[in-house]
Chain A
């Protein structure tokens, strides 16, 4: 293993995060605070409780998922697309690094950034509502796995994107709607039966549900199904990246 190479990519990417620390952290903190103001105070005052949990507290796992999914994807996709855009990718391709090592460096950094942001959001949420974490290890398991999985997904977008607009299309058009419709701010039990069944087709529902279980022991689907879903997406992303990267698609002419 080229550990120095992996470390070089990782530190290089984290350095970019450090340079833009304010905007990297300020944006999710402000957004989270706004969600609490709008959903927690304005709308939440009319809902009060879901599954015996105060509405403001209930939406915390969903809000964290919403942020880390979008952050993991955008961090990883930008991190890999940028050297392609500036042509500095030549150096990575010419270095004695395997595809796995390159992915590990980029995805590791993107997942780390999202993890930091996720933890900051948990801290921010504590200023607004009581946040209880019944299963901290399980919570970290979901948090880390989600960061890694969606950073891998972002890496794929970074490989395929033809321009900066391409980096935004999937997060805006697919991920954000899936998160909003995946029970971030409600339980699917509140929906009519037809829409409950439709919601079960949304993979993000399983992530949010499993993540929420680690907080309050309440979930829309079983913990096993949630774990299986995230692991399936993870394995799918790994297989996809391994195949396309080894062929050099979009990177090596």
Chain B
């Protein structure tokens, strides 16, 4: 699949000489949902804002559909939309006027049928004549999405799309994002909720201190960096660890009845068969076995910690 977005060696300094982005290289494929993960101040919003023209970057190039976003900003901006992190809306305007205003800004002639369809799709139709200040936080978030979609973008940036919305609404938002993606919109989202990236994204990038430290397919990432834990529940508790079991680095629960053994999915041998054999050799009977896989969140925390430790060393 072709790249819809290509970022090459992008660096951004703020006026106080703070380096917000450092040699960022990233390619986004057409039609994918891409999650950009990183702690606060990592550079996620700066990167998105640089692509959308909201902030100026210092060096490097950014291309959308192989078109330079600086030289041909009109062409590239027509196909991009952005949902900002904060609820930046004109409070005294109605939902209808707000969304139509956005469509106009992007150079599209009025299309009331499309805006009506869009508002209905986002469950905003019955609020169309309400002023923004009369809406709940979740509804405002939907208005921001409607505004971003008002000109039918091909590339949509969602900066923390479900920040400060309740769990139910978050699931609704996820459905909206999936539906948009099904309709052919490429989506790049930043999020603090790793669960969100895990649920939605095809690929993931981790950014820390202005640098992209990892880009991979979500499933591969989980497989590659994830650890799995096998929990072996015994009928009788272990009273003494014998020679056979002493060679394994496992932990026991408080009642000495559950063996927890963690192994890396990526390694060639996991020693699980040997462990089970040794459990049997030592005379213990197995009551139950289950496995737990580390989540993207655990991987993310591990990566950031490793990266921060490296930065401290340098």
Contacts and interface: CB of A to CB of B under 8 A. Distances in A.
Interface of A: 2-5, 7-9, 11-12, 15-16, 19, 83, 86-88, 90-98, 248, 252-253
A253 B55 CA distance: 5
Contact of B106 (A3, A5, A98): A5
B308 to A, nearest CB: 25
Specify which of A7, A83, A95, A252 lies most central, judged by the most chain B CB atoms within 10 Å of its CB. Answer: A95
B105 A91 contact: yes
A94 B105 CA distance: 9
A7 B110 CA distance: 11
Given A87-B84, A93-B53, A94-B52, 8 more contacts: A4-B108, A5-B106, A16-B92, A86-B89, A90-B82, A96-B107, A252-B56, A253-B56
Contacts of B53: 93-94
A91 B106 CA distance: 9
B119 to A, nearest CB: 18
28 contacts: A2-B74, A4-B106, A4-B107, A4-B108, A4-B109, A5-B107, A8-B103, A8-B104, A8-B105, A11-B104, A12-B101, A15-B93, A15-B97, A86-B88, A86-B90, A87-B86, A88-B88, A90-B49, A92-B105, A93-B53, A93-B54, A94-B52, A94-B77, A95-B77, A96-B78, A97-B105, A248-B56, A253-B14
Contacts of A83: 90
A11 B101 CA distance: 9
B73 to A, nearest CB: 6
A94 B147 CA distance: 12
B255 interface: no
Contacts of A93: 52-54
Given A93-B53, A253-B15, A9 B84 contact: no
Given A86-B90, A96-B74, A91 B147 contact: yes
Nearest to A8: B104
A187 B103 CA distance: 51
A236 to B, nearest CB: 25
A96 B90 contact: no
Contacts of B97: 12, 15
A88 B105 contact: no
Contacts, number: 81
Contact of A94 (B56, B82, B86, B91): B82
Contacts of B109: 4
Given A8-B101, A90-B54, A95 B90 contact: no
B102 interface: yes
B88 A5 contact: no
B80 interface: yes
A87 B91 CA distance: 12
A88 B140 CA distance: 13
Please give me the 10 A-B residue pairs with the lowest Cβ-Cβ distance, nearest first.
A8-B104, A95-B105, A87-B88, A96-B77, A96-B74, A94-B52, A2-B107, A93-B54, A253-B55, A4-B104
B80 A94 contact: yes
Contact of A7 (B77, B102, B104): B104
A19 B82 CA distance: 28
Contacts of B101: 8, 11-12
A95 B101 CA distance: 11
A94 B84 CA distance: 11
Given A86-B88, A88-B88, A94 B107 contact: no
Contact of A88 (B78, B89, B103): B89
B153 to A, nearest CB: 10
Contacts of A91: 88, 102, 105, 147
Contacts of B77: 94-96
Contact of A252 (B55, B86, B147): B55
A4 B73 CA distance: 16
B14 to A, nearest CB: 6
Contacts of A97: 105
Interface in B247-302: none
Given A248-B56, A253-B55, A95 B88 contact: no
Contacts of A3: 107
Nearest to B75: A96
Specify which of B15, B54, B91, B92 lies most central, judged by the most chain A CB atoms within 10 Å of its CB. Answer: B54
A95 B80 CA distance: 9
A253 B49 CA distance: 10
A81 B93 CA distance: 17
Contacts of A9: 105
Specify which of B82, B104, B106, B147 lies most central, judged by the most chain A CB atoms within 10 Å of its CB. Answer: B104
